[in-house]
Amino acid sequence: MKVSILQFPGTNCEYDTQYAFEKLGAQTEIIWHKSTTIPADTDLLVVAGGFSYGDYLRSGAIAKFSPVMSAVKEYADKGGKVLGICNGFQVLTEARLLPGALKRNEGLHFISKHHHLKVENNENIFLEKLNTGDVVNIPIAHHDGNYYIDDEGLKELEANGQILLKYTDASGEIKNPNGSVASIAGVCNKEKNIFGLMPHPERAMESLLGSDDGIKMLQGFLAS
């Protein structure tokens, strides 16, 4: 299994992501954003979290024009598996590879804490190691994690099973930390080969750090 991890100026979760996937036995490579190609043997391409280009203008807005992004589009168009975590999710929405947009958190605060998430749908290549209805404990750390999509778009997401994760409490009841539409924490594209989520599963790899629920989630990303 080969995981390629994108690095923009301002990315700061690339090494956590590398640690997490290597812990699961994957081979990893960090790809600088000036690269115009994705390694041919890539099984999973990760757009890591952080603050690409300092979040100037909007989170992810400038990163979408980095040279590597054309290669990302090409890789995704061919059915390649792309995962965006936090700022990576924002980059993928800005690049229109995922529907919707991320707004400033409703409470206007940066939120950094452990939060529970419920698996809404596991009929996809990402969450197949988890069951629909499973609740996992995965940290969030964002200022612009308030997912927005209009009513029509939301209906489409629901009809296609594109909503993969929602923010909940430990019992699976909706608990929305940032005002996101329908408490959405992660969505995939229609073809289900691109997945973006605001929480950081790569930071939940050791029970010592509060949770190792990220292990099962990341194992799913490597599964097929």
Query: Residues with catalytic annotation?
Result: 86, 200, 202
Task: By CB under 8 A, name the one of 4, 93, 121, 183 that touches another protein.
Answer: 93
Least gap, CB of 37 to another protein (angstroms)? 24
Span interacting with another protein, options 21-29, 100-108, 193-201, 208-216, rule CB under 8 A = 100-108
Question: At its nearest, how many Å lie between another protein and the CB of residue 107?
Answer: 7
Q: Cα separation of 52 and 90, whole Å?
A: 10
Q: How many residues bind another protein (CB under 8 A)?
A: 19
Q: At its nearest, how many Å lie between another protein and the CB of residue 105?
A: 7
Specify the stretch interacting with another protein by CB under 8 A; choose among 20-28, 106-114, 155-163, 214-222.
Answer: 106-114
Beta bridge partners of 87: none
Q: How far apart are CA 175 and CA 135, in angstroms?
A: 12
Q: Does 143 bind another protein (CB under 8 A)?
A: no
| Per-residue binder mask for another protein (CB under 8 A), 154-193, x = binder | -------------------------x--------------
Among 32, 36, 54, 57, binds another protein (CB under 8 A): 57
Residues contributing to the site for another protein (CB under 8 A)? 57-58, 61-62, 65, 93-94, 100-101, 103-108, 146, 148-149, 179
